[in-house]
């Protein structure tokens, strides 16, 4: 529901902006040019699945699903646009808190936790677009490939001892290759500035590391993102 409320606020604002644009803003911008862009991000991470080796007993593997809250972040990019194509370098960051985790096998229990799923990404993106200036809103699609650096933490009671005092079970940093798929629209506000509204699916791969017992852990990090930003033609 949080996602729907977020989108419900974006759509009327975008439509209002588009309807208020005058024809004077619809200038041809098909010539090649550099640009900078920035956006705020709403992050709707898919529940991360996690494994922990030798838990709850030696020789077994604990399977866990982490509950995550809707999170926030931002991004900045520098790129080049020409006609129907655009390329850019992007850096972005999102943070999603976890308030509980559920062990699904070999135990079945849900416990509260204080956890974080923080992601910093460095991406190279390419887009296909309708050139801005001919329509009130110019749609585009894109894809990106790069590297994501993650930090995951879990402060909770262990599943094997749910009555134990909460403690730091995981505090791990790891990096992996990442990809993203984007679709959005650019609404020109002036001849140089455009409002961008974008959906982005981001996959940061699987974080690997060890818990406080030095046992191997894995956690998958992926999900939907909703970006609202501005693009400035240089």
CB atoms within 10 A of CB 1: 6
Q: Any residues with CB less than 8 A from the CB of 169 and at least 6 apart, and which?
A: 154, 155, 156, 158, 211, 212
Question: What integer pLDDT is reported at residue 58 of this predicted model?
Answer: 92
pTM (predicted TM-score): 0.84
Cβ atoms of 66 and 219 within 8 Å: the answer is yes
Residue 20, exposed/middle/buried by CB under 10 A (0-12, 13-18, 19+)? Answer: exposed
Region for 83 from its dihedrals, namely left if φ exceeds 0, alpha if ψ lies in -120 to 50, beta otherwise: left
Q: Any residues with CB less than 8 A from the CB of 68 and at least 6 apart, and which?
A: 45, 47, 48, 96, 97, 98, 117
Per-residue pLDDT of the chain (234 residues; tens, 9 = 90+): 444 444 445 444 444 444 444 343 444 445 799 999 999 999 999 999 999 999 999 999 999 999 999 999 999 999 999 989 999 999 999 999 999 999 999 999 999 999 999 999 999 999 999 887 666 889 999 999 999 999 999 999 999 899 999 999 999 999 999 999 999 999 999 989 999 999 999 999 999 999 999 999 999 999 999 999 999 999
Can you list the domains of the chain with their CATH numbers?
2-233 (2.40.160.20)
Question: What integer pLDDT is reported at residue 104 of this predicted model?
Answer: 94
């Amino acid at each position: 529901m949080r996602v729907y409320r977020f989108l419900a606020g974006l759509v009327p604002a975008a439509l209002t902006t588009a309807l208020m644009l005058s024809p004077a803003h619809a200038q041809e911008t098909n010539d090649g040019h550099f640009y900078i862009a920035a956006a705020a991000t709403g992050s709707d991470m898919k529940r991360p699945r996690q494994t922990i080796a030798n838990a709850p007993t030696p020789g077994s593997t604990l399977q866990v699903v982490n509950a995550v809250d809707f999170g926030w972040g931002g991004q900045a990019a520098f790129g080049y646009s020409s006609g129907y194509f655009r390329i850019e370098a992007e850096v972005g960051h999102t943070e999603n808190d976890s308030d509980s985790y559920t062990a699904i096998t070999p135990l079945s229990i849900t416990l509260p936790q204080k956890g974080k799923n923080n992601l910093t990404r460095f991406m190279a993106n390419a887009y296909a677009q309708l050139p801005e200036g001919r329509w009130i809103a110019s749609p585009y699609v894109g894809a990106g490939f790069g590297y994501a650096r993650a930090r995951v933490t879990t402060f909770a009671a262990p599943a094997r001892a749910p009555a134990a005092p909460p403690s730091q079970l995981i505090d791990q940093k790891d990096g992996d290759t990442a990809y993203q798929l984007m679709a959005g629209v650019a609404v020109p506000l002036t001849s140089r500035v455009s409002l961008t509204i974008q959906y982005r699916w981001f996959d940061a791969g699987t974080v690997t590391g060890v818990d406080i017992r030095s046992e191997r852990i894995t956690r998958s990090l992926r999900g939907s993102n909703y970006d609202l930003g501005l693009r400035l033609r240089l």
